Amino acid sequence: MAGRAIVFAGQGAQFVGMGKDLVDANPEYQELFDRADEILGYGLSKICFEGPTEELTKTNHCQPGIFVASVVCYRALMKAVPGLEVNSMAGLSLGEWTALHAAGALTFDDTLRVLEARGRFMQEACDQSDGSMVSIIGLSADQLKPICDSAGVSMANLNSAQQTVLSGDRKAIEEAEKLAGDTGAKKTIILRVAGAYHSPLMESAALQLKEVLDSVDIQPTSLPVVANVTGAPHGTPDEIRETMLKQVTSSVLWQADVEWLRARGVEEFVECGPGKVLSSLIKRIDRSVQVYNIQDTVTLDAAATALA
């Protein structure tokens, strides 16, 4: 039997209406959004279901919103395919927190509190600097390293062998984009983000987040959850705290995460949450794997039929 991993969406995958289709079909999942509204003290569910886009895109709304929508997708999958065997989990940036929750490391309430604080601190860090990010397609990490050193930017996401996202000061990112073009990049895309995520410009957010992480109970995971920072599974609860704190300012090694899972026999990946970003990236890394995406009732039914 093929190994199977569940992966969870990261920031940027959000869309107005995420989660609503599954909630309408399964009213029991409304309780998750109601609980989130209660914990956060505002109508996150209304923002997720109705927008406006400008509010949903704010980091402090987006991160808890994607988390709740992704948990709904995951629970709907486990209900639709009882006894589904899962060998491991991973997630992109905030999605790694969803994976840790699904693997039993944190409760729903605590994960939501962490992500609300994480999103708020990161938004504040964005407001304090003029940061930007650019996606570079067609150059390897080795080719980008001298460009990063020259422009003074960081590799924020190593998504695949031919796609890397750079992060840093806006003018430095513009310089890096020019240098990448001169070096032969097939395509460069300035991302529509609030700031320079996964770079030293997020240091103030990491400093504030430490106090929050120290206050929540973290348990060992029930199965391997691969960390963005290391490309290897998380360790003890204290190591989880340390690694997830580093994640705020460190590179997301998504390609390394997928390669670790593949080396351990994972042949099926199920993406839970809005969008299909991870499904696309996984296929770019290894076209031989089977990938499913669950974000609404249509994709749930298709995946459940195949997985059953």
| Catalytic positions, written as ranges | 93, 198
CA dist 156 and 168 (Å) reads: 9
Return the amino acid letter for 289. Answer: V
Query: 295-306 burial, b for 16+ CB within 10 Å, e for fewer?
Result: bbeebbeebbee
Query: 249-272 burial, b for 16+ CB within 10 Å, e for fewer?
Result: bbbbbbbbbbebbbeeebebbbbb
Tokens of 25: 């079909």
Q: For residue 52, say if its preceding peptide bond is cis, omega within 30 degrees of 0.
A: yes
